[in-house]
Amino acid sequence: MQHYIFKKFVILVSVLLERENYLMKKKLFATILLSTVALSQGAVVAGVSADSTDDKIAAQDNKINSINQQQQSAQAQVDQIQGQVSEIKQQQENLQAENDRLNEESERLSAEIDELSKNIVARQESLANQARSAQTTGTATSYINAIVSSGSLTEAISRISAMNEIADANNKMLQEQKRDKEEIAQKQKENNDAINTVIANKQQLEDDAQALSTKEAELKVAQLNLAAEKSSAENEKNALLQQKAEAEKAAAAAAAAEAAYRAKQKEQQAAVKASANTTLQAQVQAAAQTPATTPAAAQTQAVAQPAVQTQAAAAPAATTSRPNYSSSASSYPVGECTWGAKTLAPWAGDYWGNGGQWAASAAAAGFRTGSQPQVGAIACWNDGGYGHVAVVTAVQSTTSIQVSESNYNGIRSIGNYRGWFNPTTAQGTVTYIYPN
């Protein structure tokens, strides 16, 4: 009986032990399973976190690359505009240097033209006097009588020799006159070419100044844009962007100013060309309609003033031959005072230089010059610089005239801009060139 009970007890203990072992195994398995799941989820989370960081790094790299490309583009724009600015400035320096050289050359040629003109005028007077003497005294007959009336052969030979010397001197004078006229014509053309180049260069300098202003404004925009791209601080970048916006407005204003300038230039050029369709007769008729208000300076000369001249005064015919000139004003820059005078007075020379040089050039060409104003005459003012020329359209006295002109106070079309004025106090010394 005891043995049986003991056996049952052993069986029961065994069953309990197996059950406990089962539960422990089950708990261990669950623990392992849970641990495995937890580790798997942790790996997934870790993987997701790593992938997200890589994406951010890649995005930042792309942003950096984009900024670098923008900086390179902005820098290239700055370099390009800077090169254009430097090119314009260099062109300006070259043009100014060329103008300085040409002005010096023009001054030298003007002095040489003046000297040649004096020599030509002096010889013209001498030759004219000889011609008048020959006509009135019968020089050829006198020479023959002098030879025939010689007391001896020696005296006759001496008189013939003296006459030959006189003839040689006259021939030499004629040759010198011819040579100087050819030389002055060449110098006048060279001088005119220099003057025309200077004027063209001045216009180019004005155009370049406008273009430079626009390019410098564009350069400032590009520089500020580059600085904004390089800036990392947000507040500094915002300030730079504000400056950039203001610079863009300034650049737009500069571009608009340049466009307005070029439009105005085009309009002025059209007005200048249109003004060339006028004639001296039309300008004289227009001047005749101007109220005859005598300047105060002219009132002190006489109580009664002569009537306004509407026709060119008669003048003695010229005794010297003059070259034939073209009727076109193309040898002078359009809009200059010389162009306006040549347009109204086609008889003027083609290469007479600046306005202040016209009197000397005209005298050398055989035209009469003087101090009395005359309708149709060219008024030439010499102020020591470029001078000025205009065509007289009405005369009250030596101190009260009207003229038609171009490039007066910057107005480059032909017109009567002064009404009645005193020419002796206008712009240096005035000399009149007469057409006959």
Q: What is the b/e burial string over 195-224, where b = at least 16 CB atoms within 10 angstroms of the residue's CB?
A: bbbbbebeeeeeebebbbbbbbbbbbbbbb
Coil, helix or strand at residue 411: strand
417: amino acid identity, one letter: Y
Rg (CA), the chain: 49
Q: What is the pLDDT of residue 393?
A: 97
Tokens of 433: 């060139």
Angle at 174 between CA 171 and CA 176, to 5 degrees: 110
Whether 389 and 380 have beta carbons less than 8 Å apart is answered as yes
Q: Which residues of the chain have pLDDT under 50?
A: 13, 28-29, 32-50, 294-318
The number of beta carbons lying within 10 Å of the beta carbon of residue 263 is: 10
**Predicted pLDDT at 70:** 72
Secondary structure (DSSP) of 23-75:
HHHHHHHHHHHHHHHHHHHHHHHHHHHHHHHHHHHHHHHHHHHHHHHHHHHHH
At 112 the pLDDT is 84
> Can you read off the two tokens belonging to residue 377?
């005459």
Domain architecture of the chain: domains with CATH: 63-275 (1.10.287), 280-433 (3.90.1720.10)
Q: What pLDDT score was predicted for residue 43? A: 43
CA–CA separation, 322 and 178 (whole Å): 13
pLDDT of amino acid 64: 65
Angle in degrees, CA 146, 151, 154, rounded to 5: 90
* Residue 300 pLDDT: 36
In this structure, are residues 383 and 428 in contact, taking their beta carbons and an 8 Å threshold?
yes
* Nearest by Cα to 85 from 248, 253, 252, 216: 216
* CA 321 to chain CA mean position, Å: 39
Residue pair 340/414 in contact by the 8 Å Cβ criterion: yes
**Separation of alpha carbons 109 and 190, rounded Å:** 8
Residue 372 tokens, joined: 């009395």
Nearest to 116 by CA among 297, 365, 291, 349: 365
Q: Is 332 exposed, middle or buried (0-12, 13-18, 19+ CB in 10 A)?
A: buried
The predicted structure's pLDDT at residue 141: 58
